[in-house]
Amino acid sequence: MNNVVETASGKVQGTVEEGILAFRTIPYGASTAGANRFLPPRPATAWTGIHDCSDFSGKAPQAGLRPATRPELENFSGAADPSPETEDCLTVNVWTPGCDAAAKRPVMMWFHGGAFAYGNANTPRTRGSRLAARNDVVVVTVNQRLNIFGHLDLSASGDDRFRLSGNAGTLDMVAALEWVRDNIAAFGGDPGNVTIFGESGGGAKVSTLLSMPRAKGLFHRAIIQSGAVVRLRTQERAQALTECVLRHLGATAASIQTVPVADLLAAVEPAQKALGPSPAPLFDRYPFGPVIDGDVLPAHPFDPAASDIMADIPLIIGDMKTETTSFLAVVDKVWDRSLTETEMQQRVAAIAGAHAGRVIELYGQLYPKLNPAERLIAITTDSNFRIRSLTLAQRRVALNRGPVWMYSFEWETPVLGGKLKAPHAMDVPFAFNTLDLTNATGGSPDAQALSDTMSSVWAAFARNGRPDHASIPAWPVYDTAARATLVLDKVCRIENDPRGEARRLWQDITGTV
């Protein structure tokens, strides 16, 4: 197999992994350190000779920003990437069945999760070799700037260099897509058939790209897994956060490019605390994330209506049945299911405010056999995740253009006594067919069968723009009459408007009916 490929910046040499060609950490942009910090991405510096891409060589700075979890969950998602953190982080990884330009295979381009704050594309669970081999596609995973490095809005400084600094990491995504457009044919991929997909913060990246004029024409289908974004940061809030950062560091826009990496990372949490919570917490997310600047992002992606910039793009969107079991696991009383009714009600009041009584009453009626901790998980899953996906899908459908398909992942893992049920991010190795590289499923044959199904359906969608596959029933497009939803479980099925009572309640609370 030919493992040397000519790119626009020079030749790269990959390796063979599970019978598939793998090219790790190919630069798509120049280092973002020094004078390039907080600026839009620049093209990768050309090289002579052959660039070794046989191993991962780095990821974006993020030390200290990953939230704490229970010791029992440390290895749930598999091994972490051991490569160093570096500002030279604009890289892609490519897996391909062969570097034959005439093949024109569908391209599946993954944006990793981590709330625009942490994470990377180099983990074993997102190894692209199996997805590529099983479905004859080219898989690309993307590293980009995160947190303060990708989203510190210095546009009010008066220095025109920083005009787009709040969206530096957002522009990295466009640069990665442009790299695919210009280079992927040499890796056997079709630049005219690119599907972007991602989970959690990666789904948020997909949501964001769907509303970016600069990304138009660079991708052709989209999948959002547990990461729907309705609103992003306003410029006023972004600039207020920047003021908090500068005060904390005792720095100015003129000096901040020389502040050490560790000091910038250490400023993130104090600045976010000083800024305070968003006035619209159910929809506004990501203190350090994309900003509505009137240029890179002209408006919120799906508020007050869906962006029409790429409304023709076919879209799959969905969530996990119990997203927040993993987040709430850090609360001992939730983990051991000893949370009292009063404690549950107090937590719901903090979320739903004046509507707390209605929420508590309905979920008590819907789930009378669940204990208070389990009802809290159901409530926070719907309020923190599902309502955003439903709102995004409903507003996209209202444009009456590109088709939308809705799913709900409901297979429950037996590990750790089954406490996690169907938690946030467990679907990632199902999509990549890498369950054995994690500790998420206990080797369940049901899980492997579902992984075979999910990865095949995702690839069929990437190939044809429709998620038609023999392993699932016919999957109708989503509309606001039937609300047909594919349930991914031991036996996959179609349900119309699952948990409709809860949907109607949260739509009423959020004014998104």
Q: Is the pLDDT of residue 155 over 90?
A: yes
Note the pLDDT tens digit of each residue in 387-417: 999 999 999 999 999 999 999 999 999 999 9
Mean pLDDT of the chain: 96
CATH architecture of 4-235+287-297: 3-Layer(aba) Sandwich (3.40)
Q: What is the pLDDT of residue 2?
A: 78
Instruction: Kindly list the distances between the CA atom of residue 340 and the CA atoms of 68, 365, 394, in Å, as whole numbers in the listed order.
Output: 24, 17, 36
**CA 6, chain centre distance (Å):** 30
pLDDT of residue 316: 98
Give the C-alpha separation, 291 to 414, whole Å: 40
Mean pLDDT of 237-244: 96
CA distance 431 to 452: 8
CA nearest 125: which of 176, 75, 86, 162?
Answer: 75
Q: What is the mean pLDDT of residues 425-441?
A: 97
Q: Which residues contact 101 (CB under 8 A, 6 or more apart)?
A: 185, 186, 188
The pTM score is 0.97
Mean pLDDT of the 114-120 span = 96
- Number of Cβ atoms within 10 Å of the Cβ of 353: 10
pLDDT in tens, 247-264: 999 999 999 999 999 999
Residue 199 has a pLDDT of: 98
pLDDT at 14: 96
**What would the pLDDT profile of 213-223 be if each residue is shown by its tens digit?**
999 999 999 99
Cα atoms found within 13 Å of the Cα of residue 404, Cβ hemisphere only: 27
Least Cα distance to 220 among 181, 167, 168, 171 occurs for 181
pLDDT confidence bin for 474, thresholds 50/70/90: very high
Give the pLDDT band (50/70/90) at residue 291. Answer: very high
For residue 68, the model assigns a pLDDT of: 87
Asked if pLDDT for residue 280 goes beyond 80, the answer is no
Please answer whether residues 13 and 54 qualify as being in contact, where contact means their C-beta atoms are separated by less than 8 angstroms. yes
Percent of the chain's residues with pLDDT above 90: 95
The predicted model gives 197-202 an average pLDDT of 97
Is 104's pLDDT higher than 80? yes
Query: Which of the four pLDDT bands, split at 50, 70 and 90, describes residue 285?
Result: confident
Greatest mean pLDDT among 59-68, 283-292, 455-464 lies in 455-464
Contact 493, 266 (CB under 8 A): no
Question: What pLDDT, on the 0 to 100 scale, is given for residue 160?
Answer: 93
CA 133 vs CA 98, 170, 391, 460: distances in Å: 10, 30, 35, 14
Report, as residue numbers or ranges, the catalytic residues: 200, 323, 424
pLDDT at 283: 85
- The residue-averaged pLDDT of 187-191 equals 97
**Mean pLDDT throughout 309-337?**
96
Q: Does 295 score more than 90 pLDDT? A: yes
